[in-house]
Chains A and B, each alone.
Chain A
Amino acid sequence: MTLSVAESSYLYDSLQQSPPIRPDGRKINQFRPIQTNIGFLESTNGSAKITLSDGSECIVSIKSKVVEKAAIASGRENLIDVDVEVPGYRDDSAFISNLISTLQSIYTNYISRESLNLTSRFTYKLFIDVLVIANYSYPLSLISFTTYLALKNTYLPKLISSVDDKEIEEQPTFHDYEFNRLEIEVPIIFTIAVINNNYIMDPNAQEMEVSDNGLIISWYNRKVITPIETIKLNEGHVKAVKPELIINSIDLVKSLGDSVIEALNKAE
Chain B
Amino acid sequence: MDIISISKGAEYGHSNIEDDEYEYDSDIDVLMEDEQRGDDVDRDEKIKTSVVTPGELVIDDPIWMRGHGTYFLGNETFSSVAGTISKVNRLLSVKPIRGRYEPETGDHIVGRITEVGQKRWKVDIGAQTDAVLMLGSVNLPGGVLRRKSESDELQMRSFLKEGDLLNCEVQSLFQDGSASLHTRSLKYGKLRNGVFLKVPSSLIVRAKNHSHNLPGGISVIIGVNGYIWIRKTPEDSNAGNSTNLSKNAAAINTKGQYNVGNASVSITRLEEESSWEIYSDVNDPISRSLRDTITRYSNSIKALAFCEIGISVDRIVSAYDASMAQVDLGKLIDREVMESIGAEVINGEKYRGQ
Interface centre among B4, B7, B12, B195 (most CB of A within 10 A): B4
Name A34's closest neighbour in chain B (CB-CB).
B6
A48 → chain B, closest Cβ, in Å?
Answer: 10
Encoded as 1 (CB less than 8 Å from any A CB) or 0, chain B from 172 to 193 comes to: 0000000000000000001111
Q: Which of B263-271, B284-292, B342-350 is near enough to bind chain A? A: B284-292
B8 at interface by CB-CB < 8 Å: yes
B294 → chain A, closest Cβ, in Å?
Answer: 9
Residues of A contacting B72 with CB < 8 Å? Answer: none
* With known contacts A10-B195, A23-B298, A263-B6, A32–B164 Cβ distance under 8 A: no
Residues of B contacting A263 with CB < 8 Å? Answer: 4, 6
A33 touches B295 (CB 8 A): no
Residues of B contacting A29 with CB < 8 Å? Answer: 3
Q: How many residues of B contact A (CB 8 A)?
A: 40
B6 touches A25 (CB 8 A): no
Q: Which of B91-99, B126-134, B332-340 is near enough to bind chain A? A: B332-340
B333 touches A25 (CB 8 A): yes
A4 touches B281 (CB 8 A): yes
Name A268's closest neighbour in chain B (CB-CB).
B8
Residues of A contacting B334 with CB < 8 Å? Answer: 33
A5 to B283, CA, bound (A): 9
Residues of B contacting A229 with CB < 8 Å? Answer: none
A177 → chain B, closest Cβ, in Å?
Answer: 23
Interface centre among B3, B194, B295 (most CB of A within 10 A): B3
- Select A36's contact among B6, B283, B291, beta carbons within 8 Å: B6
- Chain A contact-residue range equals 35 or more
B196 at interface by CB-CB < 8 Å: yes
A62 to B193, CA, bound (A): 48
A217 → chain B, closest Cβ, in Å?
Answer: 15
Residues of B contacting A31 with CB < 8 Å? Answer: 3-5
A97 at interface by CB-CB < 8 Å: no
B194 touches A25 (CB 8 A): no
Residues of A contacting B335 with CB < 8 Å? Answer: 33
A9 at interface by CB-CB < 8 Å: yes
A35 to B329, CA, bound (A): 20
- Select B330's contact among A3, A10, A26, beta carbons within 8 Å: A26
B29 at interface by CB-CB < 8 Å: no
B332 touches A264 (CB 8 A): no
Encoded as 1 (CB less than 8 Å from any A CB) or 0, chain B from 311 to 345 comes to: 00000000000000000011011110000000000
A264 to B288, CA, bound (A): 34
B73 at interface by CB-CB < 8 Å: no
A29 to B4, CA, bound (A): 9
Residues of B contacting A51 with CB < 8 Å? Answer: 9
A264 touches B283 (CB 8 A): no
A266 touches B283 (CB 8 A): no
A87 to B213, CA, bound (A): 41
A36 touches B3 (CB 8 A): no
A3 touches B9 (CB 8 A): no
A17 at interface by CB-CB < 8 Å: yes
A170 at interface by CB-CB < 8 Å: no
Encoded as 1 (CB less than 8 Å from any B CB) or 0, chain A from 37 to 77 comes to: 10010000000010101000000000000000000000000
Residues of A contacting B194 with CB < 8 Å? Answer: 10
B80 at interface by CB-CB < 8 Å: no
* With known contacts A10-B286, A25-B296, A33-B333, A2–B163 Cβ distance under 8 A: yes
A23 touches B333 (CB 8 A): no
B299 at interface by CB-CB < 8 Å: yes
B7 touches A33 (CB 8 A): yes
A256 at interface by CB-CB < 8 Å: yes
B162 touches A2 (CB 8 A): yes
B58 at interface by CB-CB < 8 Å: no
B8 touches A10 (CB 8 A): no
Residues of A contacting B295 with CB < 8 Å? Answer: 21-25
A25 touches B299 (CB 8 A): yes
B195 touches A36 (CB 8 A): no
A264 to B8, CA, bound (A): 11
Residues of B contacting A93 with CB < 8 Å? Answer: none
Name B114's closest neighbour in chain A (CB-CB).
A2
B9 touches A6 (CB 8 A): no
A259 at interface by CB-CB < 8 Å: yes
- Select B164's contact among A5, A26, A37, A40, beta carbons within 8 Å: A5
Residues of B contacting A264 with CB < 8 Å? Answer: 6
A21 touches B291 (CB 8 A): yes
B108 at interface by CB-CB < 8 Å: no
A207 → chain B, closest Cβ, in Å?
Answer: 12
B165 at interface by CB-CB < 8 Å: yes
A201 to B4, CA, bound (A): 11
A90 at interface by CB-CB < 8 Å: no
A35 touches B6 (CB 8 A): yes
Residues of A contacting B329 with CB < 8 Å? Answer: 25-26
A2 to B112, CA, bound (A): 9
A13 touches B283 (CB 8 A): yes
- Select B283's contact among A9, A49, A268, beta carbons within 8 Å: A9
Name B331's closest neighbour in chain A (CB-CB).
A25
A32 touches B333 (CB 8 A): yes
Residues of A contacting B296 with CB < 8 Å? Answer: 25
Nearest first, the 7 closest Cβ-Cβ pairs linking A and B are A25-B329, A2-B163, A5-B281, A37-B9, A31-B4, A6-B192, A35-B9
Report 12 cross-chain contacts, Cβ distance below 8 Å, ordered by A residue: A5-B163, A6-B191, A7-B165, A10-B283, A23-B295, A23-B298, A33-B6, A34-B6, A37-B8, A201-B3, A264-B6, A267-B6
Chain B interface (Cβ < 8 Å from any Cβ of A):
2-10, 12, 112, 162-165, 190-196, 281-283, 286, 288, 291-292, 295-296, 298-299, 302, 329-330, 332-335
Chain A interface (Cβ < 8 Å from any Cβ of B):
2-7, 9-11, 13-14, 17, 21-27, 29-37, 40, 49, 51, 53, 201, 256, 259-260, 263-264, 266-268
